[in-house]
Amino acid sequence: MKLSLCLHNHQPVGNFDEVVEKAYADCYEPVLECFERHPGIRLAMHHSGCLLDWIEARHPDYLRRISALCAEGRLELLSGGYYEPVIPVFRRADIQSQVVSMNDRLEALAGSRPCGLWLTERVWEPSVPSILAGTGIEYVVVDDLHLRLAGVDPGSAGLPVLTEDSGHGIALLGSSREMRYAIPFAEVKDVLSILAGMDRDGIRHVFYGDDGEKFGVWPGTRLRCHERGWLDAFLSALEDASGWLSTVLPREAVESLPAVGPFYVPASSYPEMGEWALSPERQESAAAVRRAVTESPDADLFVRTGFWRNFLTRYAEANDLHKRVLHAEKAVRDSGSREALRHLWRSQCNCSYWHGVFGGIYLPHLRDAVWVELAEAERTARECLGSGHSLHRGDIDCDGSEEIVIGTDDISIEMRAGEGLSVSELTFLPRGGRAVTLGNVLTRRREAYHSLVGESAGGTGSDGTESIHGDMEALEDGLASSIAVDPYRRLSFREVLLPEPGGRDAWFGCRGGMAAVTPGASPELSTVGDGVSARLSYPIAPGFSVDKRLSVSLGSPAVFYESTLASDPGSPGCRIGCELCLNLLTGSEDDRVVCIGAAAPVRTGVCAEGRARRVVVEDVWRRVRVLIESESELDVWQMPLDSVNRSERGFERVHQGVAILFSSVVPPGGRAVTALRLRMEAIV
């Protein structure tokens, strides 16, 4: 029997340098060293371009060692989108160019052009063969579930399976789920027993492809795989089994084994990904159905779950980013700038577009990184085109309402007509400095796993090694009571109507507040002096209406806001506020603070309140200061937006941004005018 092993190594754009360094020390380097000690083993690897770039800058000897192994014929390198995009959801020109760019890089490393591709998050759609046409890719790694969904007999799952789209053919290699769940969590003898059973069943080839981080990065796996020697023992056992088992490179398996097909795979990914793409309610229903049919070996075939693209429905923030990246492509291509195109590709890195066991979109530094790359792509394109500033309006994010995107030398901003002309993107573009994104705040939602979060921090398993698909522990005490669900999407320059009295408790408790939703609204746009002004009037609640103007300076990083709340005679008293939501990446550092009036600065991670005409927000780490000034003294309330979410370590609290509300009390049947000026500046 033949066995093909393939490891996928990836670190996302924007990950902390110390995190990647630890992954290298705990996983990538010791795995390579262990592999070098076993000349009887042949292996395939995929490294994302983000990780390759990092390794080249810090550990170039690793790449020299890889090149040597390729020259010996022991190692095969797999291609992919250079910056690890989800293949089917971006423009074909971008994906094809990223794959060809990765092919060029790997040819320089390996001495031969790759023919296999690691499919990002195993997100398959029937269009993939057409997307990859002309890139030189001959086979794609999927899961065995993909093949079973296409009707491939389980006995043929290890063989290359042919498929096509519009006449563009490609082979598929399906990774064995049984092996993925056993390695490295089962004992070595048990893994060999599984392989021996497959051999007795007449299976000619087994393909194993999974995350390389399972061998040192996942909780407890460094201890198990390296300090206690699991990986060394496993590779030795494979060498000792050479009488009936041999390792082959995936490309050799594709070339030598008889292929079956054509078969047609429906849109799918690995089963957990499909579940995570569902709403919390449907995740709970799917879990109940799965429990009812758990005895069936075909449960995964007939309990179909979600579709990857619906992460863009679940998380409006992911949809905003995705559609802005698509929208930016034309200007980037027209500019002819290779630098702008690289920034655009980096903004397509998949990790910030979804959420599962890993933090993904819940990790603010990853969201920030891809938004920065997008801002730099657009800024570089504008500079190359000599266009000065850009203005686009239309339903950019395909949600049925209009957006207005303005880019200047100093600022990039997106207004959302469907959310009462609120602002979802606010990016400062300092002259000579890197873009600083302030608007990518994540709204807190109910997640299906919230019911599993305990109040007490827990420990690990018997040896600290757990599959991330198992039970998880809270990483701090009191976490369950910290779960908050926002009553509306957290955006900037959003009007919030609160009851009075009781408005303060309602706002801080995330229990109330009416926020405008204005589907189909079309703002009036005008040029006033050196700025662009958008105006919109709408009802915010029965008996209350708002007339609002939001202006963006074309010559400075400034935004001007003015709104008038009018209430019908007989309407009750209320409190009207303008909410700003800013992402400073953390709430626990002394270099990220808010100063309300003359009060002492406080961290963004605490609650505060006061009355003031001026508020200063400082992010010393990214060297930006935000000054917000009002024409009159207002009540100012500050609240951290901390989520409780799941990561590979367990359930944890993550700071998603800070909300600052500027508000005043409106008497029954009264009106209120609120005027704010927001200005950003570099800290020197």
Q: With both helix axes pointing from N to C terminus, report the angle between 29-36 and 60-71 in degrees, rounded to the nearest 10.
A: 30
pLDDT above 60: residue 162: yes
The partner residues of 401 in beta bridges, in order of sequence, read: none
- How far apart (Å, rounded) are the C-alpha atoms in residues 643 and 521? 31
Both 202 and 123 in one domain: the answer is yes
Q: Is 425 helix (H, G, I), strand (E, B) or coil?
A: strand
667 domain-assigned: yes
List, in order, residues 6 or more apart from 575 with CB less than 8 Å away: 497, 498, 499, 500, 503, 663, 664, 665, 666
258 shares its domain with 315 = no
Q: What is the pLDDT of residue 358?
A: 80
- Which residues form the domain of 372? 307-387
Residue 29 DSSP SS3: helix
Tens-digit pLDDT profile for residues 79-123: 999 999 999 999 999 999 999 999 999 999 999 999 999 999 999
Q: Within a domain: residue 468?
A: no
What's the CA gap between 215 and 226, in Å, rounded?
8
Encode pLDDT of 529-572 as tens digits.
Answer: 889 999 999 999 999 999 999 999 999 999 999 999 999 999 99
How far apart are the C-alpha atoms of 417 and 98, rounded to whole Å?
34
Instruction: Please check whether residue 471 lies inside any domain of the structure.
Output: no
Q: Radius of gyration of the chain from Cα atoms?
A: 27
Q: Give the whole-number percent of the chain exceeding pLDDT 70.
A: 97
Q: Residue 490: its pLDDT value, please?
A: 96
Region 510-524: mean pLDDT is 86
Angle at the Cα of 350 from the Cα atoms of 328 and 353, rounded to 5 degrees: 80
pLDDT over 90 at 617, yes or no: yes
356-381 average pLDDT score: 95
pTM exceeds 0.75: yes
Q: Which of 387, 411, 431 is at the close of a domain?
A: 387
Residue 538 CA to residue 488 CA, distance in Å, equals 17
> Number of folded domains in the chain?
4
Q: Give 384-414 pLDDT, tens digit per residue.
A: 999 789 999 999 999 999 999 999 999 999 9
Last residue in a domain, options 249, 264, 279? 264
The predicted model gives 64-75 an average pLDDT of 98
pLDDT band for 458, please (50, 70, 90 cuts). low
Do 418 and 352 lie in one domain? The reply is no
* Whole-angstrom distance, CA of residue 229 vs CA of residue 27: 13
pLDDT in tens, 281-312: 888 888 888 777 766 767 777 677 789 999 99
Query: pLDDT tens digits for 211-263?
Result: 999 999 999 999 999 999 999 999 999 999 999 999 999 999 999 999 999 99
Token pair of 224 as six digits: 């198990």
- Give burial (CB, 10 Å; 0-12/13-18/19+) of 395: middle
| Summary count for the chain: helices (H), strands (E) | 20, 27
For CA atoms 415, 416, 422, 426, the dihedral sign is negative
Are 352 and 431 in the same domain?
Answer: no
The pLDDT value recorded for residue 287 is 81
The CA distance from 149 to 141, in Å, is 15
Helix ranges (H only) for 363-443 are 364-385
- Report the alpha-carbon distance of residue 625 to residue 126 in Å, rounded: 48
Which helix (H) or strand (E) element contains residue 326? helix 316-335
User: From residue 156, how far is each of 1, 164, 320 by CA, in Å?
Assistant: 13, 18, 42
Distance CA 21, CA 33 (A): 16
Q: Which residue has the tokens 């296409």?
A: 150
Q: Is residue 289 part of a domain?
A: yes
Which run of H or of E encompasses 60? Answer: helix 60-71
pLDDT on residue 157: 80
User: Does pLDDT of 273 surpass 50?
Assistant: yes
* Amino acid (1-letter code) at residue 653: R
Question: What is Dmax (Cα atoms) for the chain?
Answer: 91
What pLDDT is stored for residue 472 in this prediction? 79
Position 470 scores a pLDDT of 56
Give the per-residue pLDDT at 560: 97
Structure tokens at 669: 């049947």
Same-domain pairing of 525 and 657? yes
How far apart are the C-alpha atoms of 165 and 531, rounded to whole Å? 49
Residues 6+ apart with CB under 8 A from 146: 122, 124, 172, 174, 265, 268
Residue 395 lies in a domain: no
Are the beta carbons of 556 and 410 closer than 8 angstroms?
A: yes
Residues 183 and 43 in one domain: yes
How crowded is residue 208: how many other Cβ atoms within 10 Å of its Cβ?
A: 20
Three-state helix/strand/coil letters over 141-184? EEEHHHHHHCCCCHHHCCCCEEEEECCEEEEEEEECHHHHHHCC
**What is the DSSP secondary-structure string of 244-313?**
T-EE--HHHHHHHSPPB----PPSB--HHHHHHTS-HHHHHHHHHHHHHTTT-TTHHHHS----GGGHHH
pLDDT digits (tens, 9 = 90+) for 80-89: 999 999 999 9
Task: Give the residue ranges of DSSP H helices in 76-222.
Answer: 92-110, 128-131, 144-149, 177-182, 188-200, 221-222
In this prediction, residue 528 carries a pLDDT of 79
Same domain, 91 and 149: yes
pLDDT, tens digit (0-9, with 9 covering 90-100), for 440-454 = 999 999 999 999 998
593 and 624 in contact (C-beta within 8 Å)? no
How far is Cα 643 from Cα 446, in angstroms, rounded to an integer? 10
Is 624 part of any domain?
Answer: yes
Q: What is the pLDDT of residue 459?
A: 45
Question: Domain check: are 594 and 654 in the same one?
Answer: yes
Angle between helices 92-110 and 338-346 in degrees, nearest 10: 100
Q: What is the pLDDT of residue 294?
A: 67
Return the closest-CA partner of residue 117 out of 274, 250, 11: 250
Based on the domain organization, do 295 and 322 belong to the same domain? Answer: no
Q: Residue count of the chain, please give it.
A: 684
Q: Are residues 275 and 342 in the same domain?
A: no
pLDDT category, 465, cuts 50, 70, 90?
Answer: low
Question: Are both 521 and 656 inside the same structural domain?
Answer: yes
Q: In whole numbers, what is the pLDDT of the chain averaged over residues? A: 94
Please tell me the distance from the alpha carbon of residue 293 to that of residue 302, in angstroms, as a whole number: 10
Asked, for residue 587, whether it belongs to a domain, the answer is yes
Domain harbouring 577, CATH code: 2.70.98.10
6-21 burial string, b = 16+ CB within 10 Å, else e? bbbbbbbbbbeeeebe
pLDDT of residue 621: 96
CATH of the domain at 162: 3.20.110.20
* Statement: residue 463 has pLDDT above 60: no
Question: What is the phi/psi pair of residue 199, to 5°?
Answer: -65, -45
Quote the CA–CA distance of 625 and 611 in Å, as a whole number: 20
Let me know whether 298 and 200 are in one domain: no
Task: Answer with the one of 246, 264, 282 that is the final residue of a domain.
Answer: 264
* Residue at 458 is within a domain: no
SS3 62: helix
Say which residues have a Cβ less than 8 Å from residue 520's Cβ, sequence separation at least 6.
Answer: 400, 401, 418
- Residue 494 has a CB neighbour count (10 Å cut-off) of 25
The DSSP bridge pattern shows strands 671-682 and 624-646 to be antiparallel
Torsion of CA 617, 619, 620, 625, to 10 degrees: -50
